[in-house]
Amino acid sequence: MPIATPTETSVRAAPAPPPKYHEPVQGTVFHGDGREEDLLRHLRSLPSLSPSETSGLSLRDRSQRVLNAIHEFGKGENRYLMSVGETKGRQVEDLVRSKKPKLILELGSYVGYSGISFSRHLPELYHSSTFPRDWSAAPTSQDRAGYISLEKSEVYAETAAGAVELAGLDKVVKIVVGSSTTSIKSLRKTLDMPRPMKFDMVFLDHLKPLYTIDLKVLEEEGLVGRGTVLVADNVVKPGNPAYLSWVRATPAQKRQALNLGPLSTQPQLTPNPSSDDEWLTAFRDGPIDETRWVPPEAEGVTSKGDPSLIYESQMLDGWDESQMLDGWDPYTGEKDACEVSTCVGREE
């Protein structure tokens, strides 16, 4: 069943692809060489982002200045940034405005670009709610709204926190440093989230082989459920057949794979479809077997997930219905897309 996207996004034409600022980065150093620390220093040095310049701006304008400055920085030599970017980012922003999630979880903060883009809508949507910085003072857990972002690297988390602060969103965004799979296991405790509280939206954008196990842990912990919208980035570039097969499978297919138990070695990975128009229907019948393998980065955590959950899942095609893959990497111009999976209930 098609995902309801806002009318305005389904009628407007797709934007032009961005210019190519960098060659495709796979196999080259593209992060962790000091550029993230440089970015934070750069942002803090910009007069246009100083408090005296931004204090009178609306949250939208102030945050947009920071997003623009991050993007400009990323155009420089050896400064590619693995951010979601503008085309896919704006599609997800539209989804935030239409679905109105109150609690959003992000896997992979990096330098904060997606966190700033998506979280900036929460204060407008939930102006009378309490945000993470003040959660302990919220009268009840129902009064809470916020954006929780998990990041493994302390360095990237520091840059993200600095950028979020410059954007005026530090009370809205809480960054949890640590490896995602273990962080998710203890997230209810970390955030003091009583059951049946769960996330309304999850943005998966960290290590690609972790998407499936981390979703299973979220399912098992009851942190996702009916009504949760999952948005998974990079399902075309580099692709994620195992994850797509889990969110596109029926409960029976998922149970069958789980009954076979985990795989002890990594199976050969299924390639992406060879043509663009196969993406919408691909992976509805596997490779579900690949979901039985858990990568070492999960640090020994295993999970059966909740195979009874039913998702309606398809690629986000927000700009122009005649084009399926209408997102781009912001710097290399490679085609990419997010998969959007709405949990519509459970099969008992």
Ligand X SMILES: C[S@@+](CC[C@H](N)C(=O)[O-])C[C@H]1O[C@@H](n2cnc3c(N)ncnc32)[C@H](O)[C@@H]1O
Helix (H) or strand (E) holding 176, with range, is: strand 173-177
> Residue 55 and residue 48: Cα distance in Å, rounded?
11
Nearer to ligand X, 105 or 309 (CB): 105
Task: From 59-67, 79-87, 192-200, 247-255, give the range in contact with ligand X by CB under 6 A.
Answer: 79-87
- Do the beta carbons of residue 35 and residue 79 sit within 8 Å? yes
Count of chain residues binding ligand X (CB under 6 A): 19
Tell me: does residue 205 bind ligand X (CB under 6 A): yes
Task: From 106-114, 166-174, 266-274, 308-316, give the range in contact with ligand X by CB under 6 A.
Answer: 106-114
Length of the chain: 348
Tell me: does residue 211 bind ligand X (CB under 6 A): no
Tell me: does residue 67 bind ligand X (CB under 6 A): no
Tell me: does residue 110 bind ligand X (CB under 6 A): yes
The strand pair at 327-328 and 201-204 is best described as: unpaired
All residues at 6 or more sequence positions from 153 whose CB lies less than 8 Å from its CB, including other chains: 32, 177
- Do the beta carbons of residue 235 and residue 337 sit within 8 Å? yes
The mark string for 139-178 relative to ligand X (x by CB under 6 A, - otherwise) is -----------xxxx--x----------------------
Residue 120 tokens, joined: 């900036």
Nearer to ligand X, 82 or 247 (CB): 82
Tell me: does residue 207 bind ligand X (CB under 6 A): yes
- Do the beta carbons of residue 309 and residue 283 sit within 8 Å? no
Tell me: does residue 206 bind ligand X (CB under 6 A): yes
- Do the beta carbons of residue 286 and residue 333 sit within 8 Å? no
Nearer to ligand X, 114 or 253 (CB): 114
Interface residues with ligand X (CB under 6 A) are 82-84, 108, 110, 113-114, 150-153, 156, 179-180, 205-207, 210, 297
